[in-house]
Amino acid sequence: MLKKKINLIRLLSHYRRPTSIVSSKSDELREKYFPKDGTISSPAFSVLRTVLMQSIRHLNNANIDAAVIGLMSSGDNLVNARKYLNYLDHQQEIPSKMFLSKLLKLYNSTAKTRKLESQELEEIQTIYSALRKDFEYLDSSLCENLIYGISLTENWREGLELLEETRLSAVPSTGSYCALASKAFEDESTFSIAWKILEEIVEERKEPKCEVFTSFLNTIKRTENFKKHLEQMFDFIGKNELQVSRQVILKLRDILTEREIKNFVTKISEKGHCDICQTKLSHLQLMDREFNELQKHFLQSVLIRDDVFQKSSPDEVNLFLKIINKSQPYDCVIDGLNVVYSSGTNKNPKVYSAILSSVVKYFKDKDKRVLIIGRKHMLKWKTPAMLFVKKNADIFYTGDLSQDDPFLLFAALKSGINTDFLSRDLMRSHSYLLNNELKTIFKRWQQIHQYSLVTTSGGMRGDQVIVRKPFGHCNFAHKIGKGSWHIPFREKYMSNPPESFGSPDNWLCVQLE
């Protein structure tokens, strides 16, 4: 029975949904038919439906409602969505299930900008109950929208069951997790549920949204255990090496200032000192035992895997292992294409060769023995700069379609605990393949030994290079001494992370004691 249910859910998940509006037309249609003051009229809805069905081939009376609400992507349009619902009622038409499903998501979007009225919450519950009754089996998309809706009500715990339902066919979305965690954080008695959800988020390689921490901070500011709860948040983001956004930091600073707790925006020097309090961040260390354990498991867990062989081949891997076992140890391993493509992907071989030779020279001047992981098409780079590279470094050329990161990481690990590597890639997909203990060791090893290319100068010659060195101190939230916390943060939520493990540009220094 369970197998039959899973297969049916998967079938529903792949069922073709209405064609989305062409992006170039959607803004124009929103502006014309959905004014933000909510003045849209019933005749306008009739015209819009006709225009959409005439311009998009796959739209018909069965799926037109979903296309219309697809134009109402922001919370500002909830009033128009409700008017459209009244329009359908006056036309004696039953709104499609897809329309109602997306309407729940729109309610959730609106709730981020204002408090919902009691009538709106009742509407959410009515729509939710109707959809649950009409569908015996729920696909992941419908589950997500139901969670968005029910998480706004006092019956939000039903969303936990929907998470389990989603897992039958897909991995729950970050939005689904965060909607429930945010609601659970609204009451101190349900904090344990929220933290469990957050643990699941990071286990699924996802990152909590700002709204989760904002909800948490809004609640703990009213509690007697404020400092205890706050340190739990700091512990969580530190343990999982997360960086919260400036939005969260501003909320936190307002609360800290209100409670007369000292806090400062600061920077951390290359030597790990805080510019404000002058305390030094913890120095990162890697024990021989930890490194040996990482080295032992990396080959089987990351390099020799089915999905790697799909992009490489057993023969290529075996040849690489044979060469590395014979030629290692190296002092530094360089991802050749990753480095040269930092200048763009449409340059000629002379530019790429010059960059690569500059990087090789940088390490050779420090008496480092260098290995470059390249691609076979680089053999066509017949330039003087490449002659310098070949003379001063060993090169292993992978196939042009091969995945080169595992080769780079294995060569660096195989060469020993003191070997560095140079790449702009954060290697997250590879660290996630390790168990939790080895993942932590991998990240620490990476932070201690990963260099990245910042820029080169000197024109075509590429005779100067600026390399970002590893930051040998903790670059995630952690406690120094009895009550001094340092929290890294970024300017915008989900902005691209720095292309190295250097110190973040922004830190918040919090002195709880």
Higher pLDDT, 483 or 91: 91
Going by pLDDT thresholds of 50, 70 and 90, the confidence category of residue 58 is confident
Residue with tokens 């849209």: 40
Residue 509, amino acid: C
Encoded tokens for 229? 């709860």
In a domain, 162, yes or no: no
- Segment 157-173 shows an average pLDDT of 92
| Nearest C-alpha neighbor of 18 from the set 107, 83, 94, 99 | 99
Encoded tokens for 327? 């030629």
State residue 136's pLDDT score: 74
Q: Which residues of 273-309 are buried (b: 16+ CB within 10 A; e: fewer)?
A: bbebbeeebeebeeeeebbeebbebbbebbbbeeebe
Going by pLDDT thresholds of 50, 70 and 90, the confidence category of residue 2 is very low
Least confident of 268-272, 384-388, 478-482, 494-498: 494-498
Determine phi and psi for 283, rounding to 5 degrees: -80, 135
**Does the pLDDT of residue 254 top 60, yes or no?**
yes
Residue that finishes a domain, picked among 130, 155, 180: 155
**Domain assignment of residue 333, given as a range:** 288-468
Distances from the Cα of 457 to the Cα of 345, 346, 349, 464, 465, angstroms: 17, 18, 16, 5, 6
Q: Is 392 exposed, middle or buried (0-12, 13-18, 19+ CB in 10 A)?
A: middle
Q: H or E segment at 510?
A: strand 506-511
**Does the pLDDT of residue 405 top 70, yes or no?**
yes
- Segment 46-57 shows an average pLDDT of 84
Least confident of 119-128, 293-302, 324-333, 482-491: 293-302
State residue 137's pLDDT score: 76
Cα–Cα dist 259/313, whole Å: 61
| pLDDT digit string, tens, across residues 314-346 | 788 888 888 988 898 999 999 998 888 877 777
**Does the pLDDT of residue 252 top 90, yes or no?**
yes
State residue 311's pLDDT score: 61
In a domain, 352, yes or no: yes
Q: How many CB atoms lie within 10 A of CB 192?
A: 10
In a domain, 441, yes or no: yes
State residue 10's pLDDT score: 37
Residue with tokens 């069905």: 53
| pLDDT digit string, tens, across residues 282-310 | 888 899 999 999 988 877 766 555 554 44
In a domain, 502, yes or no: no
**Does the pLDDT of residue 392 top 90, yes or no?**
yes
- Domain containing 351 — which CATH number? 3.40.50.11980
Higher pLDDT, 333 or 462: 333
State residue 463's pLDDT score: 53
Whole-prediction pTM: 0.78
State residue 284's pLDDT score: 87
Going by pLDDT thresholds of 50, 70 and 90, the confidence category of residue 459 is very low
Cα–Cα dist 355/479, whole Å: 40
Going by pLDDT thresholds of 50, 70 and 90, the confidence category of residue 158 is very high
In a domain, 247, yes or no: no
Least confident of 210-219, 270-279, 460-469: 460-469
**Does the pLDDT of residue 7 top 60, yes or no?**
no
State residue 262's pLDDT score: 94
Residue that finishes a domain, picked among 132, 155, 178: 155
pLDDT, mean over the chain: 84
Going by pLDDT thresholds of 50, 70 and 90, the confidence category of residue 14 is very low
State residue 140's pLDDT score: 87
Cα–Cα dist 443/438, whole Å: 9
Higher pLDDT, 26 or 275: 275
In a domain, 211, yes or no: no
- Own/partner pairs for 124-128, CB < 8 Å, 24+ apart? 124/149, 124/150, 124/152, 124/153, 125/150, 125/153, 125/155, 127/100, 127/103, 128/104, 128/153
Q: What contacts 297, CB < 8 A, 6 or more positions away?
A: 434, 438
Distances from the Cα of 462 to the Cα of 59, 357, 373, 450, 456, angstroms: 56, 8, 20, 22, 6
**Does the pLDDT of residue 499 top 70, yes or no?**
no
Give me the number of domains the chain comprises: 2
State residue 80's pLDDT score: 85
Rg over CA atoms, the chain:
27
Distances from the Cα of 414 to the Cα of 11, 71, 296, 330, 344, angstroms: 46, 54, 9, 9, 31
Determine phi and psi for 502, rounding to 5 degrees: -70, 175
Residue with tokens 């519950």: 125
Going by pLDDT thresholds of 50, 70 and 90, the confidence category of residue 204 is confident
In a domain, 415, yes or no: yes
| Nearest C-alpha neighbor of 472 from the set 437, 508, 446 | 446
Cα–Cα dist 303/340, whole Å: 24
State residue 305's pLDDT score: 57
Residue that finishes a domain, picked among 137, 155, 173: 155
**Does the pLDDT of residue 494 top 80, yes or no?**
no
Least confident of 14-23, 265-274, 341-350, 501-510: 14-23
Q: Is 57 exposed, middle or buried (0-12, 13-18, 19+ CB in 10 A)?
A: exposed
Collapsed DSSP state (helix, strand, coil) of residue 244: strand
- E-strand ranges in 376-493 read 394-398, 420-422, 450-457, 464-468, 478-480, 484-490
In a domain, 79, yes or no: yes
Q: What contacts 495, CB < 8 A, 6 or more positions away?
A: none
